[in-house]
Amino acid sequence: MSNGITLITALILAVVCGCQEHDATTPDAAMRANEPGDAAPAADDAALATGIGYMLVTADWSERGGVPGTRFCRAEDPSSCVVTDDDGRAVFFGLPELSRVLLRVTSDGYVDMLKHFVMPRADVVTQRDPFNPMIPEALWNRWVMQAGVTLEPDKGHVLFFVLRGAGGSVDLTPSAGTRVYAASMQDFDPALEHPGSTGYGVFFNVTPGEYDTVFSHPTLRCAFGMETGWEGKSSDSSAVVVKPGLLSFPAFGSCLPP
């Protein structure tokens, strides 16, 4: 699609700021937005007192806007969920500041994903995260076919992105899975040896565990690139957890002149 890069990349480049929100999104409202029977996130008294929130903004990869009804559930507590509203947004409240959070993301017709983020500082009311791409199952199946891989049910996968990474490399540490770079927003090409202009790719069939996604370039300096996701063990890496059958994200990097 001609505008594919525009929507998703614009979301990536949007400022993920610690900006104070003044809409009707409050801890009580977010908890009321849960579907019947859902438990609100386990509340930390200090976090609730300061109103720390993290707004997750979904976007259909194929440009159909936000995805209502998407469930974000804490990986360690599947009963602790929030569900996106009609605009495809949901907010987590009640988690300690600067804590690393792992969410399972599910929605009918989309690939099940594993979202990584860090709660904002206590002096931030609500931090927006505009990069929560929802990948339609039909598109995912197309990528798998183009990549020439057979998905293994006991393995997981990692979606990565590197800004200005053309000509560089993206690797998992420890080494695992099959890396395939994207030729465009809609197509993958196993013949590519370096990130393409979109900067995207996937590690398919990764053994469950914890990894660093390492970004490198022969002439540029690469680093963990966004205020979303988890920073890795080194400044040039993004940490990810891999679980069976899930697509882990985001693994972000950015390369700049030294």
- Here the CATH number for the domain that contains residue 212 is 2.60.40.10
CATH of the domain at 89: 2.60.40.1120
Same domain, 21 and 115: yes
Count: domains in the chain: 2
Of 76, 106, 134, the residue at which a domain comes to its end is 134
52 and 79 together in one domain: yes
Q: What is the pLDDT of residue 69?
A: 96
Query: Are residues 130 and 152 part of one domain?
Result: no
Does 187 have pLDDT greater than 90? yes
pLDDT at 107 over 50: yes
The reply to whether 113 and 35 lie within a common domain is yes
Residues 84 and 147 in one domain: no
Q: Two tokens at 9?
A: 């990349």
| Confidence category of residue 72, pLDDT binned at 50, 70, 90 | very high
How big is the CA angle at 74 (ends 235 and 91), to the nearest 5 degrees?
85
pTM exceeds 0.85 for this model: no
Structural tokens at position 186: 């809609």
Do 82 and 174 lie in a common domain?
A: no
Q: Mean pLDDT over residues 233-253, rounded? A: 94
83 with 34: CB under 8 angstroms? yes
Residue 201 clears pLDDT 60, i.e. is over it: yes
| Last residue of one domain, picked from the residues 134, 154, 174 | 134
Give the pLDDT of residue 28.
33
pLDDT of residue 17: 31
Residues 37, 130, single domain; the answer is: yes
Query: CA 19 to CA 250: how far, in whole Å?
Result: 21
pLDDT over threshold 90, residue 123: no
Same domain for 29 and 78: yes
Same-domain status, 180 and 127: no
- pLDDT surpassing 50 at residue 21: no
Separation of CA 175 from chain center: 21
**Are 67 and 60 in contact, with CB atoms under 8 Å apart?**
yes
* 51: confidence class by pLDDT, cuts 50, 70, 90: low
Looking at the fold, whether 123 and 106 belong to one and the same domain comes out as yes
Residue ending a domain, among 107, 134, 161, is 134
Residue with tokens 């602790």: 80
The domain containing residue 163 runs over which residues?
137-256
- The pLDDT confidence band at residue 33, using thresholds 50, 70 and 90, is very low
Alpha carbon separation from 143 to 94, 102, 190 (Å, rounded): 37, 25, 10
| 6 has pLDDT over 50 | no
Top mean pLDDT of 49-58, 79-88, 151-160, 161-170 is at 151-160
Residue 126: pLDDT band (50, 70, 90) is confident
Shared-domain flag, residues 106 and 189? no
Separation of alpha carbons 192 and 162, rounded Å: 15
Question: Residues of the chain with pLDDT > 70: what percent?
Answer: 79
139-157: average pLDDT:
97
d(CA 251, CA 212): 9
205 compared with 10, residue with greater pLDDT: 205
Cis peptide before 174 (omega within 30 of 0): yes
Burial of 245 (0-12, 13-18, 19+ CB in 10 A): middle
Mark whether 90 and 158 lie in a shared domain.
no
